[in-house]
Every structure is written in structure tokens, then in C-alpha cells.
Amino acid sequence: MRKILVAGNWKLNGSLAGNEALVSGILAGMSNVQNADVAVCPPYPYLPQVRDLLSGSAVKLGSQDNSEHEQGAYTGEVAAPMLKEIGCHYAIVGHSERRSLYGETDAITASKFEAAQKAGLVPILCVGELLEERENGTTEEVVARQLDAVVDLVGIAAMANSVIAYEPVWAIGTGKTASPEQAQAVHEFIRSRIAAQDAGVAEGLQILYGGSVKPDNAAELFAKPDIDGGLIGGASLNAEDFLGICTAAN
């Protein structure tokens, strides 16, 4: 039985005071969260602050990205070993905003995934189609390409130590959620593609859904057999909403 994971992606939001209020709000409600693992992914400069705020709790820390490089002359980059050293457990890689706004290709995403794992982080690999790709019927082709780029680089066994997040780009931050049936169909596709290479890895793999998950649609999504939690953007910035999603797994 796979456990539900709810991870908050704070994106480019936060401040020392705001983070403190948000984390204390989340921690205050954690005793009601019975069936979900929980993580938050703040912007880089706040990782040590949030790590300290989370200390002693079950909530894990994650980054929103990591460099594909380990060290060297890469101005502005943050390396996976640094994130590990500072206390991260997870690292989001290949988020659609990184892909679309910063030109990150499947190959770069795969290298970032590999770098995260090499440093001992658990990568949360984001995949998902654009609206036009859904409309022209190439959703599975796109998701397969994004997935294969990683599996081909790291090998199927390495996928056991990762999380996948299916995030249809047209549902991110738009208030438009994929229906539970639409999401389930893609999650099933992802799992079966992994299963074609290793059934055991596929069975254990947490596949999260992301894209306008809110407290009022989370339970229906998480009830689907291949949806193992959520990657939450907007609703992760409000403690009550985030907790409402975490308790949807109860």
C-alpha cells in the first residue's frame, strides 16, 4: 500500500515572518493528519529557517530545483549536495515553470534528477502536457518522452527512490483541475510504463497529481487508485488550505 504524500511548492513566495506564520499554522494542525506524509519546498534562502521551524516534526523539507552540476563556475546555481547538507529530503526537478520559463529540456531535467539522487535527495520529477498537447491528443506521448529521458539516464531501479508528479500544465495555477478520471488515466499510464520495465518499482512508486489541488477536490483525486498524493502550489501558501488537503487523505 503506497502512502499519500502532500508536498507544498511555495514557488517564489515567502518572507521570514510569513514563513514562520505558515509553518506554525501547518504544525498546529499536523496531529489531524493521519495518512499523509507532508513536505514543504520553500525558496532557497529560507531553507535553513524552515528546516529549523520544522525540527522535531514529521514534515520534511524539499527544494524547488537543483543544479545538474555538483560544483564549479556556475554563477547563481545551487548544487544538490548543498541542499542535502542544509537538510533537504526532496528536490523538485523539471517543474513546468522551469521547463517553459527557463528553457530546461528533458535532458537537463534528467541530469538534475541524477544529481539529486547522487546527493541523497529524493527527486520529485514533474511531467505533464501543455493544453495544445492535450487537445491534439499527444498527452501520453509527451509524458512518455519526459519520463523516458530520466529512466534512460538513471536506469529503472533508480526510479524506486523517487517520486513522480503528473502536472498538466493547463491546470497549474489556473483553477482548472484535471478531473479525477483524467488524472487517473495519465497516472495509470505512467505506472504501466514503469511496470513494463519493473513491476515492483512501479507498484511502490508514489505518483502525485499537481494542478489547482484544493481542499475541496483533494479527496476525490486521492481516492483514485494510481494517485498517491499531490504537489500543491497556491493552496500550500495557506496553512488551513494546505492542512485541508493533507487531511483529505485521512
Kindly list the catalytic residues: 95, 167
Contact (Cβ atoms closer than 8 angstroms) between residue 2 and residue 206: yes
User: How many residues contact ligand PGA, by CB under 6 A?
Assistant: 13
Minimum CB separation of residue 176 from ligand PGA in Å reads 9
Distance CA(134)–CA(145), nearest Å, equals 14
- Helix residue ranges, H only, the chain: 16-29, 47-54, 80-86, 96-101, 106-118, 131-135, 139-154, 180-195, 199-204, 215-222, 239-246
Which of 62, 81, 128, 233 is in the footprint of ligand PGA by CB under 6 A? 233
Binding mask 164-193 for ligand PGA (x = CB under 6 A): ---x----xx--------------------
3-class SS of residue 91 = strand
Which of 59, 150, 213, 248 touches ligand PGA (CB under 6 A)?
Answer: 213
Judged by CB under 6 A, the residue of 81, 128, 180, 211 near ligand PGA is 211
User: Using CB under 6 A, which of the segments 46-54, 80-88, 102-110, 232-240 binds ligand PGA?
Assistant: 232-240
- As a whole number of angstroms, the distance between CA 186 and CA 190 comes to 6
Q: Of the ranges 45-53, 58-66, 68-76, 205-213, which one interacts with ligand PGA (CB under 6 A)?
A: 205-213
**Shortest Å distance, C-beta 91 to ligand PGA:** 14
Cβ–Cβ < 8 Å for 224, 218: no
Q: How near is the Cβ of 73 to ligand PGA at its closest, in Å? A: 31
In the chain, where do the E strands start and end? 4-9, 36-41, 60-63, 90-93, 122-127, 163-166, 206-210, 229-232
3-state secondary structure (DSSP) of residue 34: coil
Query: Contact between 62 and ligand PGA (CB under 6 A)?
Result: no
Cα gap 125→164, rounded to integer Å:
5
- The minimum distance between CB 241 and ligand PGA, in angstroms, equals 10
* Three-state DSSP class for residue 238: coil
CB closer to ligand PGA out of 124 and 201: 124
Binding site for ligand PGA (CB under 6 A): 9, 167, 172-173, 210-213, 231-235
